[in-house]
Homo-oligomer: A and B are copies of this chain.
Amino acid sequence: MTIQPLIDYIQRFVTLTDQDIEILQSKIFVRNYLKGQYIVQQGDICRYECFVLKGCTKTFYIDQEGQEHIVMFSIEDWWTSDMGSFITQTPADFNVQCLENSELVMFSYDIIEDLYREIPKLERFFRQILERAFVASQKRIVRNFSLTAKEQYLYFREQYPLIEQRIPQYMIASYLGITKEFLSKIKSQLILEQ
């Protein structure tokens, strides 16, 4: 697979010249992961920002009681990493694991500064996608506070219809912060309401 989806994605925000694309291609690489493999593990240092060409990942945290809390799913055209660990090069709070065989473009910490220097418009690109990511994250905090579990599930289903069909129900429950029994109850109730 080529990195064309990444180029197309970047070009939605900034225009890359042929030379920019050549530089980009010389710095990054594509890596395949099998279902179940980890891109980063809690406690390790995250060395890569990743763009998903194909596949699906989950970002999660295991608390002291051993409970899993899912923060994010990523599918094609999304980014994934433990950004806190990546930017500070300190141990990761999160795990990123593949839920399917996946193909990712890897931006290594070692080349990212070279990349910004050689293609300054990538600062603009990352600034713009970070603005969107921050806004989405803030909105999720509000939803957690102000919506019922049922409303949050409906929102998730509407926003991420492509993800719901690809992941087990108990992971959606974890993402919503509820038990899988409660999610199952919500879904039965929604069927009755139809």
A residues near B (Cβ < 8 Å) are 61, 63, 67, 69, 71-72, 83-84, 87, 93, 116, 120, 123-124, 126-128, 130-135, 137-142, 144-146, 177
Q: Determine whether the beta carbon of A142 is less than 8 Å from that of B83.
A: no
Contacts known (A116-B124, A127-B127); A146 close to B69, Cβ less than 8 A: yes
Closest chain B residue to A128 by CB distance? B87
Q: Determine whether the beta carbon of A135 is less than 8 Å from that of B83.
A: yes
Residue with the greatest number of chain B CB neighbours at <10 A, chosen from A132, A133, A146:
A146
A55 shortest CB reach to chain B, Å: 21
Contacts of A116 in B (CB 8 A): 124
Residue with the greatest number of chain B CB neighbours at <10 A, chosen from A69, A84, A123, A140:
A123
Contacts known (A124-B123, A137-B137); A146 close to B83, Cβ less than 8 A: no
Q: Determine whether the beta carbon of B146 is less than 8 Å from that of A67.
A: yes
Contacts of A93 in B (CB 8 A): 139, 142
Contacts of A142 in B (CB 8 A): 61, 69, 71, 93
Contacts of A134 in B (CB 8 A): 83, 130, 133-134, 137
